[in-house]
Amino acid sequence: MSEPLIIASRESRLAMWQAEHVQRLLQAQNSARDVQILGMTTRGDQILDRPLAAIGGKGLFIKELEVAMAEGRADLAVHSMKDVPMEMPEGFVLAAISEREDPRDALVSPKYESLSALPVGAVVGTSSLRREAQLRARFPQLVIKPLRGNLDTRLRKLDDGEFDAIILAAAGLVRLGLADRIRARIDPADMLPAPGQGALGIEICEGQPEMQRIADGLADEATSACVRAERAFSRRLGGSCHLPIAGFAVSEANQHFWLRGLVASVDGTKIVSGECRGAWSEAEVLGVSLAETLLAQGADALICQINAG
């Protein structure tokens, strides 16, 4: 038996489901090697009383996992792609993106069946500036409050009556067998998803051809092209959890995709949006091109205003 493959993962229930899912795939493809999981708690999991944008951003969810890989305690890490910073740290690469689960946002509420059914003054919880901006744009009568914690914590806060509704990624609920908690899956035309939402990414240390070969077995071409376009779009805009940026691509016939993107003010009063179509092979180029188009249409000034504020 060869040396085991070690997957570094956060210890939240959803992160462990994702790691176990990848573990099963890797074990099936690499039967001669035992595949194990190294569970870890990250700083992003520990600090729950402040918005993510205020404590350092998405990188807080992956730093400890990267340290484990750099020290040789793990071979790869599994991430929700929407949690992966747009610029990878030096010495690490995004080796593969696997097939996407439902990328839409989901309304979860014990009382209301849709966003339009929420009454004036209803309290809606979300951890995302992207969701907040789009909610404020369409439903200015709602009260939007921050919601941190893992998925189970967020659902408990809803059930305890702290919120009338919360917005979560549909993928996480589906993966944990909680699809029955979804009251409505929100059409991307009404709430554009985050870049990478619903997809899983495999991170490895740079310069490891054998680990790259192993990761290649997990890659999905269509999802990879779409997510590459979304991330290129967001990266060009300086994408981070500090900015209300949405980017979502869907695969079309003949290895083409349709990319939609937007930048908004946090209060939702200003939105700059656009779309483009192109071949999978042009994913990054077209993602950047769409970002440039939005910058020329006023997104540049909007981003500067948000950063200054």
pLDDT tens for each residue of 245-268: 999 999 999 999 999 999 999 899
What is 190-211 written as a DSSP string?
Answer: TSPPPTTTT-EEEEEESS-HHH
Q: What does the pLDDT read at residue 59? A: 54
Residues 298 and 227 in one domain: yes
**Residue 296 within any structural domain of the chain:** yes
In a domain, 192, yes or no: no
Q: Residue 2: which pLDDT band, with cuts at 50, 70 and 90?
A: confident
Q: Is 187 a catalytic residue?
A: no
| HSE value, Cβ hemisphere, 13 Å, CA-based, for 35 | 20
Whether residues 171 and 207 share a domain: the answer is no
Q: Are residues 180 and 147 in the same domain?
A: yes
234 and 211 inside one domain: no
Torsion 208-210-214-217 (CA) sign? positive
Q: The domain containing residue 12 runs over which residues?
A: 1-98+199-219
Domain of residue 1, CATH code: 3.40.190.10
Q: How confident is the model at residue 182 (pLDDT cuts 50, 70, 90)?
A: very high
pLDDT at 148: 83
Answer yes or no: do 53 and 115 share one domain.
no
Whole-number Å distance between alpha carbons of 19 and 25: 10
- 241 in a domain, yes or no? yes
Q: For residue 225, which of 104, 99, 130 has the smallest C-alpha distance?
A: 99
Contacts of 4 (CB under 8 A, 6+ apart): 33, 34, 35, 36
Condensed to tens digits (0 to 9), the pLDDT of residues 60-76 reads: 668 889 999 999 999 99
pLDDT tens figures, 13-64:
999 999 999 999 999 999 989 999 999 876 544 444 444 444 444 556 688 8
Mark whether 182 and 132 lie in a shared domain. Answer: yes
Residue 309 has pLDDT above 70, yes or no: no
Domain assignment present for residue 194? The answer is no
Query: Does the pLDDT at position 239 exceed 80?
Result: no
Pairing of β 5-10 and β 35-40:
parallel
Residue 149 has a pLDDT of 84
Residues 172 and 253 in one domain: no
Averaged pLDDT for residues 226-242:
89
Residue 193 lies in a domain: no
Q: Of 133, 162, 186, which closes a domain?
A: 186
Active-site entry in 45, 75, 83, 180: 83
Q: What is the mean pLDDT of the chain?
A: 91
Burial (CB count <10 Å: 0-12, 13-18, 19+), residue 290: buried
How many structural domains compose the chain?
Answer: 3
At residue 240, the pLDDT reads 63
The answer on 232 and 161 residing in a single domain is no
Give dist(CA 100, CA 86) in Å, integer.
18
Residues 30 and 122 in one domain: no
CA–CA distance, 257 with 272 (Å, rounded to integer): 21
Examine the domain organization and report whether 74 and 209 are in the same domain.
yes
289, 269: one domain = yes
Q: Is 140 inside any structural domain?
A: yes
Instruction: Tell me the helix, strand and coil percentages in the chain, rounded to 5.
Output: 40, 25, 35
The rounded distance, in Å, linking the Cα atoms of 276 and 235 is 17
* Residues 43, 52 contacting (CB under 8 angstroms): no
Residue by residue, DSSP assigns 130-164 as HHHHHHHHH-TTSEEEE--S-HHHHHHHHHTTS-S
Q: What is the CATH number of the domain that holds 254?
A: 3.30.160.40
Residue 206 CA, chain-centre distance (Å), reads 23
Non-local CB neighbours of 212 within 8 Å, separated by 6+ positions: 93, 95, 204
Please enumerate in sequence order all residues whose Cβ is within 8 A of that of 109, keeping only pairs 6 or more positions apart, or say none. 118, 158, 164, 165, 166, 183
pLDDT classification of 81: cutoffs 50, 70, 90: very high
Say whether both 156 and 299 belong to one domain: no
Q: Is residue 191 part of a domain?
A: no
Tokens linked to 273: 């949006």
**Centroid of chain to Cα 299:** 22
